[in-house]
Homo-oligomer: A and B are copies of this chain.
Amino acid sequence: MIDLISLGKNAKIASAQLNKLSDEKRNAVLVGVAKALRENADYIMQENTVDIQACVKKGVSDAFIDRLKLTDKVIEGMAVGLEQVAQLESPLGKTVYSYKNKEQGIDVKKITAPFGVIGIIYESRPNVTADAFALCFKTANAVILKGGSDSLRSNVAIAKVIKGALSNAGVDPNAICVIEDTSRQTTTEFMKLNQYVDLLIPRGSASLIKTAVENSTIPIIETGSGNCHVYVDKSANAQMASEIIFNAKTQRYSVCNACESIVIHKDELSALTIIAEKLKEKQVEIRADERAYQTLSGYPYLLYATEEDFYTEYGSAKISVKTVDSLEQAIAHINEHSTHHSESIVTENKENATKFINEIDSSSVYHNASTRFTDGFVFGLGAEIGISTQKMHARGPMGLDALVTWKYIITGNGAVRK
């Protein structure tokens, strides 16, 4: 068992130092870390190779290896990411509210401030190690990282290079800590380290998020699980619907903002054939309810949908179809089955679009656009640490703003409450 208490304490101590550094200093350190990553790319790739060899032996999928693999290009991407974060405006120390209470003789100011220590739990994508560090360091938060076991050596190698660069810059290397024990027991204990960890962000699959929701006593932000819908309304432009759905489903299968389910008005079922014609190009399997199935008979990759399909984030070339009798039914179906990530309505009827936008309970609601846009860069927020699917603190793409809290500062001259 790893000593999580000491790890937490050390991260907390480091966070206090980060808070005292100037923005300029923090930015310079980020640039220094980028340089160190480039200089040590060979070492990082060597360690990564050991992880990959172990995974190949285990017989994992090519997609898994693809996410795990650190090439020169991926490491260069990490370095550029660090430099980009250094360029962003700092969200710290902003006055977001001020109030002069003359009667009581006090000045009240609310300013943005670091959380302190942020914990991140993620799967075997080692580039997250550098990306998450960059965003946390920029916001003067120390970070404790718990990555997937299959990428442990890679994560440790990246963290070692970062720690070296921090030390060279006179910064406490515990600003980044990697939990080297990836056992379930340690992960569960980590989720209860409230004394030292101020915020926990689980990134990854629905089951990882569920484990965090059920076990963490640290406040968490749920991210990334995306069972996204496109609703084809009665008065949709069928051609537009087919292009939006084709893009939302097939542009990238594994991402959380991909469309997993088509909801279609019964009077618009004819559009479904146009949509299917397009999806056929990529051999997308369609899992349809009764009415949609009848409409699509003859489509080469057609199955009946089960209720479970409507709860499933496929992450692959599959999509479900639900036929509804009304806009109200569409909204109810989506609110019941979605993960509250991103949903879109295709319609020429503005009133229906407004109703959909108001009543759909998701982080990002679209009108006549692909769900694939839910992304920090696309929304103009810059680098993101994840897409929040919950409502507290942050919703949708989480940029630097999501990594700060606030503090009230009150000054008086001997003021006492009357």
Contact = CB atoms under 8 A, between A and B. Distances in A.
Interface in A52-68: none
Nearest to A377: B101
Given A217-B214, A358-B19, A373-B417, A409 B368 contact: no
Interface string A98-136: 010100111010100001100000000000000000000
A240 interface: yes
A231 to B, nearest CB: 14
Given A213-B194, A217-B214, A390-B219, A411 B368 contact: yes
Interface in A230-259: 237, 240, 243-244, 246-248, 251
A27 interface: no
A19 B359 contact: yes
A237 B414 contact: yes
Interface string A17-34: 001100000000000000
B217 A416 contact: no
A74 interface: no
A42 to B, nearest CB: 35
A367 B109 CA distance: 12
B116 A369 contact: no
B405 A368 contact: no
Given A106-B369, A410-B369, A414-B369, A378 B115 contact: no
Interface in A67-102: 99, 101
Contacts of A373: 101, 104, 106, 108, 410, 415, 417
A410 B198 CA distance: 32
Contacts of A248: 416
A198 B390 CA distance: 8
B380 A417 contact: no
Nearest to A412: B369
Given A244-B414, A247-B416, A416-B372, A392 B392 contact: yes
A379 interface: yes
A353 B409 CA distance: 11
A407 interface: yes
Contacts of A108: 373, 378-380
A317 interface: no
A393 interface: yes
Interface in A351-394: 353, 357-359, 361-370, 372-374, 378-380, 390-393
A409 B374 CA distance: 10
A165 B353 CA distance: 33
A232 to B, nearest CB: 13
A276 B220 CA distance: 44
A252 B40 CA distance: 61
A43 interface: no
Contact of A417 (B16, B251, B362): B251
Nearest to A111: B357
A185 interface: no
Contact of A409 (B213, B214, B357, B416): B357
B363 A379 contact: no
A304 interface: no
Given A373-B104, A378-B104, A412-B367, A20 B417 contact: no
Contacts of A247: 416-417
B396 A393 contact: no
A179 interface: no
Contacts of A251: 416-417
Given A101-B380, A358-B19, A379-B108, A408 B396 contact: yes
Contacts of A379: 99, 101, 108, 408
Interface of A: 16, 19-20, 99, 101, 104-106, 108, 110, 115-116, 194, 198-199, 213-214, 217, 219-221, 237, 240, 243-244, 246-248, 251, 353, 357-359, 361-370, 372-374, 378-380, 390-393, 395-397, 405-417
